[in-house]
Amino acid sequence: MDLWELVKLAWQGIVNNRLRSGLTVLGIIIGIAAVIALLAIGQGAKLESERQIQALGSNLVFVMAGAALSGHVSLGLGSASTLTWEDAQAIRDVCPAVENVAPGLDSLQQAQWAGQNTNTNIAGTVPEYPIIRNFYPARGRFFNQSEVDHNARVCVLGETVANNLFGTVSPIGKQILIRGEFFDVIGVMEHKGATQFRDMDDQIFVPLSTAYNRIFGLNAATGHRIQFLLVQAKSQDDILQAQFQITNLLRLRHKIRPPMVDDFRIRTQMDLLQTAESITSVFTVLLGSTAGISLIVGGIGIMNIMLVSVTERTREIGIRKAVGARFADIMWQFIIEASVLSMSGGMVGIVLGLVSSHTISHFLQWTTVVTPWSVVLAFAVSVAVGLFFGIYPARQAARLDPIVALRAE
């Protein structure tokens, strides 16, 4: 018996029991749709994490000061006075793989204007900051080196701060009050958005020298300490070389020799990307595995209904064997019937999964990405489920004794 005849017999068996076949296929439909939708969510989470890290800047190396201890309890990176402005200048002048350096110091403070006030992050930094972070003013300008050299009381607002203090009023040229000092607003930064690290729009930028003298109460006597350094390598290929050069230079400047522990921490943008990728990969596998359980349940449903079908059609099987049907003919008839059930459920499930992914993205505002490999995988799994769970019932049917089968009521 040729394949086309076997397919027609299998389809006839399905059509004769439409409701039962439909309910059986429902488990596969839900399983395939869940696999596609959840893998799309996982892939979207991966791309969103990569986007947030890329938004931090380009070719970045992050250098954090060490952690201070209070009663054997770490106060977190950046709390110890282990990095200085002079370290930043040395890195810029000595390390050939480094393009730009932006030292920084920040703290949560209150800013006021005309009866409005907000608690926000005050960040002291240098004019190279926008270049390194790829984060520029949308209105006005960023402060320049002359204003850093002269401790100018100027500031640039993040979008969130500008909206909280000024609403629809243009803040350019206005004065805000920070810790009893008036600062001229010279610019408003473009919208950057919140990342898993911080809200980039909820901060005020001031010259680092001004932050030392007028906000944080630091001066030459107490030391030009900084909390972090943002270093931009000349290219992506130079990131590891820049990390190596910075590490060796800071060890020399801080007189750190083995087995002494570094009093700073260095991480690169590549490190962050690899960490985010490993986390989202585990997340995606977990989601896919969870959805895969429903596919197993659907496959068990197919096996169950095929066993019932074999029992109900025992006499039919006996007649077919009596007129010359071979073991392989009977077996392939039921395997194809199970495969048609699972493949039809797979195709409907793929459509439902695509629709579900789009719906999640549209209504919940989650990033979802349906990749071609997830669709191919889902369809391949649906075929495999039909074959795997259809073989046992098919063998049971093919092994029936024709004499016993003909006696069946």
| Domain-terminating residue out of 262, 294, 328 | 262
Residue 28 near residue 342 (C-beta atoms within 8 A): yes
Output the CA–CA distances (angstroms, integers) from residue 152 to 93, 155, 174, 325, in the order listed.
Answer: 25, 9, 15, 96
| Confidence (pLDDT) at 35 | 83
Residues 132, 238 within the same domain: yes
Query: Is position 238 within any domain?
Result: yes
| Confidence (pLDDT) at 137 | 95
| Confidence (pLDDT) at 25 | 81
Put simply, whether the predicted model's pTM sits higher than 0.75 gets the answer: no
| Domain-terminating residue out of 262, 289, 324 | 262
Q: What is the pLDDT of residues 162-179, one digit of tens each?
A: 999 999 899 999 999 998
Residues 193, 322 within the same domain: no
Residue 230 φ/ψ, nearest 5 degrees: -105, 120
| Confidence (pLDDT) at 403 | 62
Q: Which residues of 219-235 are buried (b: 16+ CB within 10 A; e: fewer)?
A: eeeeebbbbbbbbbbbe
| Confidence (pLDDT) at 121 | 94
Instruction: Please give the DSSP secondary-structure letter assigned to residue 215.
Output: I
Positions of the chain with pLDDT lower than 70, given as ranges: 1-3, 5-7, 9-10, 13, 53-57, 67-81, 195-197, 217-223, 312-314, 317, 400-409
Query: Is position 64 within any domain?
Result: no
Closest CA to 46 of 221, 280, 234, 232: 280
Residues 135, 240 within the same domain: yes
Domain residue limits at 342: 3-52+276-407
Pairwise CA distance, residues 383 & 213, whole Å: 71
| Confidence (pLDDT) at 218 | 60
Residues 119, 240 within the same domain: yes
**Regarding beta strands 98-113 and 175-178, do their DSSP bridges make them parallel or antiparallel, or are they unpaired?**
antiparallel
Query: Is position 65 within any domain?
Result: no
Residue 210, both tokens: 């001004």
Instruction: Provide the domain count of the chain.
Output: 2
Closest CA to 76 of 85, 87, 67, 84: 67
| Domain-terminating residue out of 262, 293, 327 | 262
Q: What is the mean pLDDT of the chain?
A: 81
Residues 157, 129 within the same domain: yes
Residues 240, 280 within the same domain: no
| Confidence (pLDDT) at 59 | 84
Residues 227, 308 within the same domain: no
Q: How is the chain split among helix, strand and coil, in percent rounded to 5? A: 55, 20, 25
Query: Is position 43 within any domain?
Result: yes
Q: Which amino acid type is present at position 306?
A: M
For helices 269-312 and 372-398, what crossing angle results, to 10°? 30
Written as one string, the DSSP assignment of 220-271 is TTT--EESEEEEEESSGGGHHHHHHHHHHHHHHHTT--TTSPPSEEEEEHHH
Query: Is position 338 within any domain?
Result: yes
Query: Is position 96 within any domain?
Result: yes
Query: Is position 63 within any domain?
Result: no
| Confidence (pLDDT) at 409 | 52
Residues 178, 89 within the same domain: yes
| Confidence (pLDDT) at 52 | 72
Query: Is position 325 within any domain?
Result: yes
Residues 97, 246 within the same domain: yes
Residues 121, 234 within the same domain: yes
Residues 253, 140 within the same domain: yes
Closest CA to 111 of 151, 166, 148, 152: 166
Rg (CA), the chain: 33
Residues 229, 139 within the same domain: yes
